[in-house]
A and B are shown apart, each in its own frame.
Chain A
Amino acid sequence: MSNHRKVVFNDVTLRDGMHAISHQYSTEQIAELTQLIDESGVDIIEATHGDGLGGSSIQYGFSKESEEEIITTAVKNAKNAKVGVLLLPGIGTIEHLERAREWGASVVRVATHCSEADVSEQHIKKAVDLGMDTVGFLMMSHRSTPEDLLEEAKKMESYGAGTIYVVDSAGALTMDDTRRRIALFKENLSTDIGFHGHNNLSLGVANSIVALEEGANRIDTSLAGMGAGAGNTATEQLVAVMNKMEIPHSVDLYKAMDAAENVMKPMMNRPVQIDRLSLTLGYTGVYSSFLLFAERAGKEYGVDPRDILTKISEMGAVGGQEDWIIGVAQDLAKEKAHA
C-alpha cells in the first residue's frame, strides 16, 4: 500500500479518553498529554468532554475543568496539530460551537446516531460557515446496514461535511462489517472518509487497517487506546502495523510508545483493556461509554453488569442514554428478589 496518500491521524486521547477517566483530566494533564501527542506527529488532537461540547452534566459526569479550560489548554500546547472538538446535536448547541471556535478549535466532528443524520444539518452548515474542518460522525454504525448508513452519510455530505466517519462506538463491527461500510462510502461519496474504532472485540487495529485498505484516509487513535470501553485503537499499535505495511503517515512510533507507556498508562484509574465487561459491550453492541455506568449500577443494585448491558442492547439504547441503566438495574434487582 505504498502508493497510499498520507493518512491523517485524529487523536482522541483527550476526548474519548475522557470517558475512561470520568472526564477528570486536570489542566496539567491535558497540557502534558497535548504536548506529547503533538510531538509524536499526529495531525488533529480532539479535546472535549467525552460526550462533546456541553456534555458536562449529571447524566454523563461533570468535567473536572471547564470547556474553555480544556480547549484553550489543548490549543496552547499544540504547536503543529490542529485542535478539534466533538459536538452531538441534542447535547451541544451552535452557541457552544461558536465559543469553541473562538477558543481556537479548528476541527469539529458533528456526531449523530447512525440513522439520525438530519439533526446535524444546522450544525454542519454552521461549522462550514465558521471555516472549520467539518466532519460528519455516524455513531453506532453497526446498527445500520451499509446501504442505510450510506444514505445518512449522503445527507451529511449534502450539508457540507468534508469528511464522513464510520464510527464503531460499540466496538461491535467485524472486519467484513467495516470493509463493506467503508467500501460503499468510497464508491459513493466525494468526501474524505474516516474510521473510529473501539477495541472491545480486539479489532481496533484490524478494523482500522481494513478501513485504510478500502480507502479511508482519517483514523482515530489514542495513546494506549485511552477511551471508552476497552478503549480506542491504540496509536502506537496502529503505527507499528502501518510501518510494517508501508502506509504513509506522520507519527513517530517511539514517541507514541513512550507517551503511552510513561505517561498515559500511569494516569488510568481503571485499566483500559479487554475484560469481561468491555468485551460484553462489543459482543452485544452497546455504546462504549456505558461501561463505567453499568459497572457502578451492578455493584449498587447487586446484579451482574453484563446482564444490564445485554438488556440495554435489547432495548436498543443509543449513545447518550446512560440514564436507562439505573432503571434496568432496578428491574433486574426486582426480578432477582422475586426469583
Chain B
Amino acid sequence: MSNQKIKCAIIGSGNIGTDLMYKLLRSDKLELTAMVGIDRNSKGLALAKEHGVKPIYNGIEGLAEEPELAEIVYEATSAKAHAYNAPILKNLGMKAVDLTPAAVGPFLVPSVNLKEEEIAELDNVNMVTCGGQATIPMVKAISDVVKVDYAEIVASIASKSAGPGTRQNIDEFTVTTAKALREVGGADESKAIITLNPAEPPILMRNTIHVQTAESADAYQEDILASLDSMLKTVQGYVKGYRFKADPVIKGNVVTVSVEVEGNGDFLPKYAGNLDIITSAAVKTGEVMAAHMTKEEAAQ
C-alpha cells in the first residue's frame, strides 16, 4: 500500500511543538497521532485535542504505554529532556527527530545531508537549531566552491518568537550552531551569535552569514553566486519563505550573505520564520524516513 502513512508523535507542546503539529497534519507521508506534554493546561495540548490529535498529559511515560501510536517521534522539548527521553525512545523502537540542541544523534540539515539510504541507518537525528537550519546551507554552498576557513553567523529573531526554552538556554544555541557550522557546513572554525529584537511589528527572522575563505573569493565570484542561488532554491523546496535579504557581498576572502525567513503563519504569525525553518526541516526529514519505512514494509 503506497499511500500508507507512517504514524508519528510530538513530545513538547510549546511554540515549536505546536507549529510542527500544523505542518504534520498536512503531510501525505506522516500521520500525527499524539502530542505529549506535561502541563495539562498547555495551549498546545488543547489545540492538539481540537485537531483530533491525542493529547498525552503524563510525558514520555504516557507514550511508552501506547507504543503503537508512533514509529517516528519528534522531540520539541529541551536538550535536557531529550537526553532523558532518547534512550527510552530507542528501547521502544521509535526513531527520534530531535529539534532540541541535545545533539544525541548526528546533525541533519535537509538541503545538505539528508539522504534516504543513510537516514535509514539512524535511529536519532538532530535538527541543530533554527539559526543552524537557516545558515548552514549557505556556508555549505560556499564551501562546495572554495575551502572555508571560518564561518560566522548572526541570527536575529523577534523577541515574541523566542520561548522560555530558548531564553534560558541561549548558550546551547550558540554552541550547537557553531559546532554544526563546522560539521555540516564544512568550515574549519566557526562562531554563532543570536540577538533577540523586540521591535513592533515583530521583525522577520534574519540571518547574516560571514565566511572567510582560504583563498581570495573574488576569483570564484560567479561560481559562489551560482552555488548560493542553487542552494537557496533547494531550501525553498521545503521552506518557501526563505530568501536573500541583501545582495551577497564578496570582498577579498570574505563573503557575506544575508537571508530572511518568512514563516508560514501556522501557529505564530509570519514573522516567526525561526519556527518554520526548523519545523519544516524536521517534517522533511521525517517524510524521507517515512518514505524509506514504507518501501521496506512494502518489500516484506
Contact = CB atoms under 8 A, between A and B. Distances in A.
B203 A316 contact: yes
Given A93-B174, A316-B203, A119 B245 contact: no
B299 interface: no
A302 to B, nearest CB: 15
A330 B210 CA distance: 17
A57 interface: yes
B191 interface: yes
How many interface residues does chain B have, given as a range? 35 or more
A330 B247 contact: yes
A31 interface: no
Nearest to A54: B191
A59 B197 contact: no
A116 B258 contact: no
Given A94-B171, A118-B164, A59 B208 contact: yes
Given A58-B254, A326-B258, A93 B171 contact: yes
Interface in A93-152: 93-95, 113, 115-116, 118-119, 121-122, 143
A244 to B, nearest CB: 40
B64 interface: no
A113 B168 contact: no
Contact of B199 (A95, A119, A315): A315
B30 to A, nearest CB: 34
B168 A118 contact: yes
B119 interface: no
Contacts of B191: 54, 57
A326 B168 contact: no
A57 B171 contact: no
A139 B247 CA distance: 30
A37 interface: no
Given A58-B254, A59-B210, A90-B174, A318 B167 contact: no
Given A58-B212, A59-B210, A116-B159, A316 B197 contact: yes
Given A58-B212, A327-B245, A116 B196 contact: yes
A318 B195 contact: yes
A267 interface: no
A324 B256 CA distance: 12
A304 to B, nearest CB: 19
Contacts of B198: 113, 115-116, 143, 316, 318
Contact of B196 (A58, A113, A323): A113
A116 B16 CA distance: 20
A257 B194 CA distance: 39
Given A91-B193, A316-B197, A122 B258 contact: no
Given A58-B254, A90-B170, A327-B258, A316 B246 contact: no
B195 A320 contact: yes
B85 to A, nearest CB: 22
A321 interface: yes
A318 B245 CA distance: 18
Contacts of A324: 156, 206
B170 A323 contact: no
Contacts of A330: 246-247
Given A122-B168, A321-B156, A330-B247, A58 B210 contact: yes
B175 interface: yes
Given A90-B170, A93-B175, A326-B256, A321 B195 contact: yes
Interface in B166-201: 167-171, 173-175, 191, 193-200
A317 B247 CA distance: 20
A121 B170 CA distance: 10
Interface string A310-339: 000001111111011011001000000000
A315 B197 CA distance: 10
B245 A59 contact: no
A319 B206 CA distance: 15
Contacts of A119: 167, 170, 196
Interface string A55-88: 0011100000000000000000000000000000
A321 B197 contact: yes
Contacts of A90: 170, 173-174, 193-196
Contacts of A89: 170-171
A263 to B, nearest CB: 33
B98 interface: no
B154 interface: yes
Nearest to B256: A326
B152 interface: yes
B208 to A, nearest CB: 4
A327 B206 CA distance: 11
Interface of A: 54, 57-59, 89-91, 93-95, 113, 115-116, 118-119, 121-122, 143, 315-321, 323-324, 326-327, 330
Given A59-B154, A91-B174, A326-B256, 11 more contacts: A58-B150, A89-B170, A93-B174, A93-B175, A94-B171, A95-B171, A113-B195, A119-B196, A317-B199, A324-B156, A330-B247
The 3 closest A-B pairs by CB, nearest first: A316-B199, A323-B208, A327-B246
12 contacts: A59-B154, A90-B193, A91-B174, A93-B174, A119-B196, A122-B170, A318-B198, A320-B195, A321-B154, A323-B258, A326-B249, A326-B256
